[in-house]
Structure 1
Amino acid sequence: MIKLTARQEQILNLIKDAIENTGFPPTRAEIANELGFKSANAAEEHLQALARKGAIEISPGTSRGIRLIGAAASASAAEPALPKVPAALLMSLPLIGRVAAGSPILAQENLEASYNVDPALFSGKPDFLLKVRGWSMRDAGIMDGDLLAVKKIDSAKNGQIVVARIGDEVTVKRYKKTGTLIELLPENPDFKVITVTPEDEFVLEGLAVGLMRSWH
């Protein structure tokens, strides 16, 4: 049993809630803001303490590189399915590669393969895997070539990471809606915010509910 201070327990619960609600852990700045710390450094000190106690694993170089491990691990800590999971409990998910212009995301021509995975690995039951292309979500820990587990939806909450289609382009971004204005926010300062105008053909294709490192 991991012995945590009250503050460490609070931060661990905040991480769990963020993963459950958005599919991804919070940044240091978000933790500091939520708990009233004066700086992100205070959050970092608590995260390092949690890492030393074996409750989390920190990946350097990304602002959301936090993973629950051990007894603290939750369904959102997505890793490739392990062989010991009984085959009867696995679900088959189609892998979507490059999406053909004008075709539904699950159209036959977009399917590259299928994977048998343990649904307990994700914060929600996914409908498909999407191969991530590019580095616009790097600081959320989503890298080029990763497999994003996606649940089909038709609406999203601010802050959630979504798969959206604008015209013939499919993109992974953080969702923000203010009034009638929709913005798709990257997690990499090298990329620009995408503003969806009323003239754009816009569709929410799904909600990110977990991530699997691509095997290559």
Structure 2
Amino acid sequence: MLTRKQHELLMFIHQHLETTGFSPSFDEMKDGLDLRSKSGVHRLITALEERGFLRRRAHRARALEVVRLPTQKMGSDRQDKSISSLRSVDPFIESFSETRAHKIPLLGNIAAGSPKEAIGETNSYIDVPSDILHAGPHYAVKVTGDSMCDAGILDGDIAVIRLGSTFENGDIVVALVDKAEATLKKIRKRGNSIALEPCNSLYETKIFGADRVEVQGTLSGLIRSYRK
């Protein structure tokens, strides 16, 4: 049984190998997993080696090899090929070997109007097409409210979020305010202030000190169910 971070790193390396043909650097792995130091990456790699998921090729730089994935059995060539066709990665993902879909955690509701209680842990999961995912862990939240409607984000939509704290001005993010309220908004940082902007003229932009806002991920895609 792998820990969440071990699973996340293994899938990050797997995706990088599939995309580029070579393993990621320690700096890329540190940044990709939001780790504080490269020593943390080293510990995770060592643990994955000991469990038979990774192998280091001797005398070669950036030469990690994924021996198997958690959903695979050793020596299964058919599973190897089906897993390698998947584009995206997630520490929570349960991959489907013959489809291009993934399960990611659905963490309840999030406001696209007034901020609501912060998202919490859940045992609920949702199937997500892999083509709207990127490298790294993802989760999903259900949107309530209409303050992001001009960005095409409607009440009842499922927002797929790439977990992480990095962002660029203009990104749509899940922002945790004062460690208590989570909201989906467009974000802009100006000096020591952060603006959380709605995409609906009926709502006002809110300004906070940078120390009051924690970005919990950026919008990766939307899932919408047809409703009459």
What is the distance in 2 between the residues matched to 1:119 and 1:153? 18
1:195-214 maps to which residues of 2 (within 5 A)?
195-197=207-209, 200=212, 202-214=213-225
Any gaps of 5 or more consecutive residues in structure 2? 1-86, 88-95, 111-115
Q: Does residue 193 of structure 2 align to residue 181 of structure 1?
A: yes
Q: What residue number does 1:137 align with?
A: 148
Structure possessing the higher relative contact order (Cα contacts under 8 Å, 6 or more residues apart): 1
Q: Quick check: which has more Rg, 1 or 2?
A: 2
SS of match in other structure, 1:158: coil
1:9-20 maps to which residues of 2 (within 5 A)?
none
Superposed CA offset, 1:61-119 (max 9, x none) = xxxxxxxxxxxxxx9xxxxxxxxx96454211111213784x6x3523xx5x3112221
TM-score by length of 1: 0.52
Contact 2:160–2:220 under 8 Å retained in 1: yes
Superposed CA offset, 1:159-186 (max 9, x none) = 1100101132111111101111110110
Contact 2:145–2:155 under 8 Å retained in 1: yes
| Residues matched between the structures, number | 127
Residue 126 of structure 1: CA displacement?
5.6
From the superposition, tell whether residues 215 and 93 of structure 1 become closer, same or farther in structure 2 (CA, over 3 Å).
Answer: farther
Equivalent AA in structure 1 for residue 166 of structure 2: S
Contact 2:198–2:204 under 8 Å retained in 1: yes
SS of match in other structure, 2:131: helix
Percent identity reads 30
From the superposition, tell whether residues 188 and 123 of structure 1 become closer, same or farther in structure 2 (CA, over 3 Å).
Answer: farther
Contact 1:126–1:149 under 8 Å retained in 2: no
What is the distance in 1 between the residues matched to 2:133 and 2:169? 20
SS of match in other structure, 1:120: helix
Contact 2:140–2:161 under 8 Å retained in 1: yes
**Of 107, 110, 117, which residue of structure 1 is paired with 2:121?**
107
Q: What residue number does 2:184 align with?
A: 172
1:7-86 maps to which residues of 2 (within 5 A)?
none
Q: What residue number does 2:28 align with?
A: none
What is the distance in 2 between the residues matched to 1:199 and 1:115? 32
What is the distance in 1 between the residues matched to 2:158 and 2:216? 15
Contact 1:119–1:126 under 8 Å retained in 2: no
Residue 206 of structure 1: CA displacement?
0.6
Aligned-residue Cα RMSD (Å) equals 2.6
Residue 158 of structure 1: CA displacement?
0.3
Q: What residue number does 2:202 align with?
A: 190
What is the distance in 1 between the residues matched to 2:165 and 2:225? 27
Any gaps of 5 or more consecutive residues in structure 1? 1-74, 76-84
What is the distance in 2 between the residues matched to 1:146 and 1:125? 22
Contact 1:157–1:176 under 8 Å retained in 2: yes
